[in-house]
């Protein structure tokens, strides 16, 4: 049974967490994630969940506590943004290497400095090599759906890795949307029971977790992690289609939009893909420009093969980055370009929206036009440009 509800992005993730009903949740406040945990705390206070709610004294301890809880055999979640994620940094890597299937909504916010509370992707992009799966959400519906699927993906025996469910700060976290939710039992049936037989509380079989592994073993730990990430590709796809059968909303690694006959395609992630789709529609209608959009839902593992396939007949590709890898350009651009190396066509990189700066429909339209001009002239220059910034 499904129900339509009006929820913000924070509410939708909190509602998903309520239905997941984790054994342990650790929480520490940071804007714009705060309302998510307020909501969840209210579920705890009303006895709607069985969760032990650990109100830690820092995000470093939040991540440390969920690692401890996960290794003790509990299903665990936490949530954060920007500086909070940065404070967790050290333990993000440990969570992944201890193969803790933690689910963490990250409400994307610009990293300091200057301090800023609004959306960009510098926080999660910086954590892209921490060994976490990353799913990005275009809207509140996807934030809800991704959070539920994340549990299955994380706990899948071929994967056993933590998952970040990324959703844009304020743009989604604080915007009310009408979305479809499943009932609690449907969610519970979908996610199933969590089992980790090798755990800290298994006192009859004492094991050491987080051991000191040197030159002769460390590499094998990492190779297993890398293999699990490779396995995650098929698992994300399989669970996305199973979820589709259940809810009528199937998910994949990528979502192509009007790409088939497109002359120019914009690749990106997060809420801006909604704007890009609208701009593509408008430009097709008003200017006859054949625009398409390729949304990257799953950024880690990076779906390079699928991406090349989706872009193989596209003459001109642009990549939208809401983060900078200083001295290089946008991180998504460089990954898309390197994935397409063998089938290389010209590509351009657009950095936009840092610190929550709005990307208007006009801005998105202008990006499409820039791509079209580059396609015509055969000169895709400059490779990296900045949208909506004062020089």
Partner 1 sequence: MATTNLKKLSDMPELLSGGHAACPGCAGPVAIRQILLAAQQDDVYVVAGIATGCMEVSTTVYPNSAWRVPLVHNAFENVAATISGAEAAYRSLKKQGKYDKKVAFLAIGGDGGTYDIGLQSLSGALERGHDFTYICYDNEAYMNTGIQRSGATPKGAFTTTAPAGKVEPGKRQVKKDLTAIVAAHEVPYAAQASPHRPRDLMKKVQKAVGIQGPCFLNVLSPCPRGWRYPPDQSMQMCKLATDTCVWALYEIEDGKLTVNYKPKQKQPVRDWLKSQGRFRHLFAPQNEYLIEEIQQDVDRRWQRLLALEAMDKGQ
Which residues contact partner 1 (rule: CB under 8 A)? 23-24, 26, 50-52, 54-58, 60-62, 64-74, 76, 90-91, 94, 98, 200-203, 206-214, 217
| Closer to partner 1 by Cβ: residue 3 or 57 | 57
What does R_g of the chain's alpha carbons equal in angstroms?
21
Q: How far is CA 124 from CA 79, 97, 130, 261, 281, in A?
A: 12, 18, 10, 32, 29
Q: How far is the CB of 204 from partner 1 (least distance, A)?
A: 9
| Closer to partner 1 by Cβ: residue 163 or 266 | 163
| Closer to partner 1 by Cβ: residue 194 or 386 | 194
Q: How far is the CB of 288 from partner 1 (least distance, A)?
A: 58
Q: Please say whether the beta carbons of 99 and 46 come within 8 A.
A: no
Angle, helices 140-155 vs 184-191, to 10°: value is 40
Angstrom distance (rounded) from CA 309 to CA 345:
13
| Closer to partner 1 by Cβ: residue 45 or 361 | 45
| Closer to partner 1 by Cβ: residue 55 or 383 | 55
Angstrom distance (rounded) from CA 294 to CA 311:
8
Q: How far is the CB of 209 from partner 1 (least distance, A)?
A: 5
Angstrom distance (rounded) from CA 356 to CA 286:
29
| Closer to partner 1 by Cβ: residue 68 or 303 | 68
Q: How far is the CB of 75 from partner 1 (least distance, A)?
A: 9
Compute the half-sphere exposure of residue 352: CA atoms within 13 Å on the CB side of its CA: 28
Going by the DSSP 8-state scheme, the letter that residue 343 receives in this structure is G
Q: How far is the CB of 213 from partner 1 (least distance, A)?
A: 4
Q: How far is the CB of 90 from partner 1 (least distance, A)?
A: 6
Would you say the C-alpha torsion 182, 298, 326, 336 has a positive or negative sign? negative
| Closer to partner 1 by Cβ: residue 131 or 240 | 131
| Closer to partner 1 by Cβ: residue 23 or 184 | 23
Q: How far is the CB of 217 from partner 1 (least distance, A)?
A: 5
Q: How far is the CB of 82 from partner 1 (least distance, A)?
A: 20
Q: What residue has token string 């440390």? A: 64
Q: How far is the CB of 188 from partner 1 (least distance, A)?
A: 13
| Chain-centroid distance, C-alpha 305 | 19
Q: Nearest Cα to 170, choosing from 274, 36, 266, 277?
A: 36
- Peptide bond preceding 113: is omega within 30 degrees of 0, i.e. cis? yes
Q: What per-residue string of b and e applies to 56-77 under the rule 16 or more CB within 10 Å gives b?
A: beebbbbbbbbbbbbbbbbbbb
| Closer to partner 1 by Cβ: residue 67 or 166 | 67
| Chain-centroid distance, C-alpha 86 | 16
């Amino acid at each position: 049974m499904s129900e339509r509800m009006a929820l913000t992005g924070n509410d939708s993730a909190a509602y998903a967490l309520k239905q997941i009903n984790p054994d342990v949740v650790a929480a520490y406040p940071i804007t714009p994630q705060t309302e998510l945990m307020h909501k969840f705390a209210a579920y705890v206070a009303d006895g709607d969940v069985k969760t032990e709610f650990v109100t830690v004294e820092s995000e470093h301890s939040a991540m440390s506590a969920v690692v401890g809880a996960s290794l003790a055999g509990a299903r665990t979640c936490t949530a954060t943004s920007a500086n909070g994620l940065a404070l967790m940094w050290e333990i993000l890597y440990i969570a992944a290497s201890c193969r803790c299937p933690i689910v963490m909504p990250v409400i994307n916010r610009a990293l300091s400095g200057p301090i800023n509370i609004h959306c960009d992707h510098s926080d999660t992009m910086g954590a892209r090599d921490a060994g976490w799966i990353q799913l990005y959400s275009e809207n509140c519906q996807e934030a809800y759906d991704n959070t539920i699927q994340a549990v299955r993906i994380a706990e899948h025996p071929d994967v056993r890795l933590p998952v970040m469910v990324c959703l844009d700060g304020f743009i989604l976290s604080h915007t009310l949307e009408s979305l479809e939710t499943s009932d609690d039992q449907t969610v519970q049936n979908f996610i199933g029971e969590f089992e980790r037989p090798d755990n800290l509380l298994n006192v009859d079989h004492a094991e050491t977790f987080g051991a000191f592994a040197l030159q002769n073993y460390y590499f094998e730990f990492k190779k297993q992690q890398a293999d699990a990430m490779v396995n995650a590709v098929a698992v994300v796809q399989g669970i996305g289609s199973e979820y589709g059968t259940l809810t009528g909303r199937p998910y994949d690694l990528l979502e192509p939009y009007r790409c088939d006959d497109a002359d120019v395609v914009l690749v990106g992630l997060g809420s801006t893909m909604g704007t890009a789709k609208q701009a593509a529609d408008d430009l097709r209608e008003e200017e006859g420009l054949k625009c398409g959009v390729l949304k990257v839902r799953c950024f880690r593992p990076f779906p390079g093969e699928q991406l090349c396939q989706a872009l193989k007949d596209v003459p001109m590709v642009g990549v939208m980055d809401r983060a900078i890898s200083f001295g290089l350009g946008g991180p998504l651009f460089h990954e898309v370009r390197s994935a397409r190396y063998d089938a290389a066509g010209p590509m351009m990189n657009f950095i936009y929206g840092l610190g929550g700066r709005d990307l208007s429909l006009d801005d998105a339209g202008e990006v499409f036009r820039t791509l079209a001009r580059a396609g015509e002239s055969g000169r895709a220059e400059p490779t990296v440009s900045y949208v909506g910034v004062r020089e």
